[in-house]
Every structure is written in C-alpha cells, then in structure tokens.
C-alpha cells in the first residue's frame, strides 16, 4: 500500500552496515572466498548510461581508491563514486575521476538515464547517516552538471537500492530495516522493500510499500516502455535458500500487479534483470536449485518463455542487450548468449574472452557494453581494479546439451 512520504522505518539495524565497517556483512552476506576477505570492500557496484557525445557512455563505479585499498585500519570501507567515459567506436575507457567523495562508503552505485537525458545516481551511504546508513541520490543532466545533486535522501536507514527510468520518471527500489539471524551465514535479512518515484528534477512523486515489515530484500528493478519489473528475494525460515519474487509496477498510478513467487530454492543474491526493447519483454536470469535459469516476462507480469536449466550465472553481473540478443556472465568463466522473441527464449551460444581463458568473474559487479564494431566490451570489478574484457559474438560457440541442463 502507499504510505506518507515521511514514513520512518519501524525497524533499524542495530549495527553499522554495508557502508561503514566490517560488520557491514549485516546488510549482505560475506562472499565465500575460502577464508579470504570480502571482495566488496575493494570495489562494489557499476553501471553505465549514454553521455552527451554519440557512442559514448559514462561508466560509474564504487571503489576504495584506485587501485582499490580495501578496508582501512579501523575496518571501515572507504568507497567513493568514480566515473569514466567509454567510447563505443574505439573501445577506449578514459581515465576515471572522482564523482562523489565523502567519508565512509558510497556503494554500491546504481545509475539510470531518463527520456529527457537526465541522470540519477544512487547508492547506500555511510557518511553522516544517523541510522547507520541511508539511501541517497543525486540528479544531473547528460553532461553530469547538477540538477538536484547529491546528497539527496531517499530514506534514512534505507539500503541496497537499485534504480531505473520509465519515460521521464525515475523509479528507486530499496530495502529498509534488518532482522538478525538466518539466511546466508546466519547474518539475517532485510525487513521490507519499497518504491519511490521521482520526476526528472528530483521531485518525489510517489511512495509505495511493496513488502512492508517483512523479511524481503535485495531489490532489483528494470524499466520498460510504460512499467517497471520489480524483483526481490524472500527469506524462507529454516532454509539457506530464498524465494524469488516479482511484480509489475506502474510509476504513473503507483499500482503494483502480478506479485508472485517465481522461483524457489534461489541462490541468495544471484539474479539480474534487464529490458529488451526490440521484443518489449523483460529478461530475468538467476540461479535456483544449483542451476541457472532465464525467464522472459511481459509488461503484465506474465512469463512468456523460460530456460529452466542452464549454466549458473554470476552474482551482481550485468546483462548486455543487442536487439533480440542478450549476454550475461556464467560462473564457469564464459559469457552466455540468449536469443529472445516475444514468446521465445533460447540459450543460443557461449563466448570465451578473446584471450581464450576463462574469466574469474567476481561477485561484486560488471557491465557489458556493445562496440559499434559488434564486439562486446565487459568491465568487471575486481580486488585489483577495473578489469576490461573483450568478447567477439562472431565467435560464439553453439550451446550443447551440457549447457542446457545437468
């Protein structure tokens, strides 16, 4: 149900979260690294939007310095937000520069561009946050000049936000509150997911409860022509796997329809979503029951086609779209190639990095960008810095029986 713009959360996390110290693991679980440090302390969160120059994109990412330093001596995560221009004609990535710099961490960054060319940048912020963290945002023009610049507040205590644009409106989907215990490493869960809608100048238009005061969190959103697809995970008592839920959101009316559990036995946090304009469908990929899956969903929330079993995908990895073809990383070091129609979805092939070696994908963020030549550049966050990768769709290998299921 809708709520007042000034709603405060009923339950806050008792300890400093993602943006601040090593107890940041309360917001999202430690990534299993065979006893190693959580890789998110180095870099976490990446996104890209078109820039003013044709065939040029602004790539935003959060990092603890360049090269990334990781947590400081006190255990705090010192992430700032950086931006670099990537050129589709040449595949060149310009030197990154600081975009937002404050004490504590501003991560993971998420970015969207609306129909008018305005850019929203949002992230969970540990700086000057009376309730440990807060979801904040800023709005800029296409040249990244301020319209309503950071620090603007989505929700004090809000976290794990993800944003998109539908027409001229921005949709911010975020979590709020925390419940200790259960889930991955017994670290607990978020306690609700919520939506706020803003116009292109940062004015709050609407605030909607999606799952209020319930153990549901890690929200992702993709913007379509008129609606947005909301995706999030639901805590299941006594299990170390989640339910994956979806719903359709109309940013004009604020109406939510088609809420459903789409997958059970979800691998926590391992899902991603994108809009495919050429077929007017949403694409959802993830991992459940140990295998990858993909679903093609229309703007009414109906699943039009599915791949029930394919290679596992990668946590926080992006989906690159080229007309009816989509690409996303596979946990085994390849790139998956999916072919979509309005009512059809197939795993049509797999790609190797042009050096022929499997990629050691990191679970902290990556984004794929299409070059004018047809090649794919993939920018992957790692503990050592931003890793540029290149794939050639002309050399895709046909998917085999082992790729379809195991």
Low-confidence residues of the chain, pLDDT below 50?
Answer: 1-35
| Residue with tokens 């304009």, as numbered in its chain | 277
Interval 158-182: pLDDT, tens: 999 999 999 999 999 999 999 999 8
CA–CA distance, 395 with 356 (Å, rounded to integer): 11
Quote the pTM value: 0.92
pLDDT of residue 406: 57
The residue range of the domain holding 313 is 22-317
Instruction: For residue 293, tell me if it sits in a domain.
Output: yes
The domain tally of the chain equals 1
Instruction: For residue 350, tell me if it sits in a domain.
Output: no
Phi–psi pair at 312, nearest 5 degrees: -60, 140
CA–CA distance, 4 with 207 (Å, rounded to integer): 7
CA–CA distance, 89 with 210 (Å, rounded to integer): 41
Are 348 and 328 spatial neighbours (Cβ–Cβ below 8 Å)? no
pLDDT of residue 133: 93
Instruction: For residue 310, tell me if it sits in a domain.
Output: yes
Instruction: For residue 381, tell me if it sits in a domain.
Output: no
Dihedral-angle region of residue 39 (phi above 0 means left; psi in -120 to 50 means alpha; beta otherwise): alpha
CA–CA distance, 40 with 87 (Å, rounded to integer): 27
pLDDT of residue 155: 97
CATH number of the domain residue 46 falls in: 2.120.10.10
Q: Which of 250, 202, 175 is nearest to 13 (CA)?
A: 175
Instruction: For residue 356, tell me if it sits in a domain.
Output: no
Interval 338-367: pLDDT, tens: 999 999 999 999 999 999 999 999 999 999
CA–CA distance, 268 with 281 (Å, rounded to integer): 24
pLDDT of residue 183: 82
Q: Is 70 exposed, middle or buried (0-12, 13-18, 19+ CB in 10 A)?
A: middle
pLDDT of residue 19: 30
Instruction: For residue 69, tell me if it sits in a domain.
Output: yes
* Coil, strand or helix at 395: helix
Instruction: For residue 160, tell me if it sits in a domain.
Output: yes
DSSP 219-288: EEEEE-SS-EEEEEEE--TT-SSEEEEEEEE-TTT--EEEEEEEEEEEEEEEEEEEEETTTTEEEEEEEE
């Amino acid at each position: 149900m809708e709520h007042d713009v000034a709603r405060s959360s009923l339950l806050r996390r008792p300890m400093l979260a993602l943006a601040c110290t090593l107890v940041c693991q309360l917001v999202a679980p430690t990534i299993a690294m065979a006893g190693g440090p959580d890789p998110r302390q180095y870099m976490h969160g990446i996104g890209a939007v078109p820039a003013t120059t044709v065939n040029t994109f602004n790539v935003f990412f959060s990092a603890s310095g360049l090269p990334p330093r990781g947590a400081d001596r006190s255990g705090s995560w010192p992430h700032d937000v950086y931006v670099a221009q990537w050129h589709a004609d040449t595949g060149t990535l310009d030197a990154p520069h600081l975009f937002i710099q404050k004490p504590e961490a501003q991560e993971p960054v998420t970015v969207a561009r609306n129909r008018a060319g305005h850019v929203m940048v949002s992230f969970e912020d540990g700086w000057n946050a009376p309730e440990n963290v807060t979801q904040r945002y800023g709005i800029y023009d296409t040249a990244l000049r301020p319209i309503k610049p950071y620090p603007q507040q989505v929700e004090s205590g809000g976290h794990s936000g993800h944003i998109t644009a539908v027409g001229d409106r921005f949709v911010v989907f975020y979590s709020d509150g925390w419940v200790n215990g259960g889930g991955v490493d017994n670290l607990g869960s978020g306690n609700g997911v919520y939506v706020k809608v803003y116009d292109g100048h940062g004015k709050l238009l609407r605030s909607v409860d999606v799952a209020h005061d319930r153990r549901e969190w890690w929200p992702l959103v993709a913007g379509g022509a008129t609606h947005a697809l909301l995706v999030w995970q639901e805590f299941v008592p006594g299990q170390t796997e989640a339910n994956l839920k979806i719903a359709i959101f109309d940013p004009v009316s604020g109406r939510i329809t088609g809420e459903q559990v789409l997958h059970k036995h979800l691998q926590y946090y391992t899902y991603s979503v994108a809009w495919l304009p050429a077929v007017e469908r949403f694409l959802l990929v993830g991992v459940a029951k140990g295998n990858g899956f993909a679903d093609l969903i229309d703007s009414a929330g109906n699943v039009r086609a599915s791949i029930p079993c394919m290679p596992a995908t990668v946590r926080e990895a992006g989906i690159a779209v080229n007309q009816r073809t989509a690409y996303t990383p596979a946990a085994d070091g390849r790139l998956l190639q999916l072919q979509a129609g309005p009512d059809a979805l197939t795993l049509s092939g797999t790609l190797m990095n042009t050096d022929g070696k499997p990629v050691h994908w990191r679970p902290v963020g990556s984004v794929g960008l299409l070059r004018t030549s047809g090649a794919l550049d993939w920018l992957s966050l790692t503990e050592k810095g931003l890793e540029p990768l290149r794939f050639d769709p002309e050399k895709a290998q046909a998917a085999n029986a082992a790729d379809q299921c195991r």
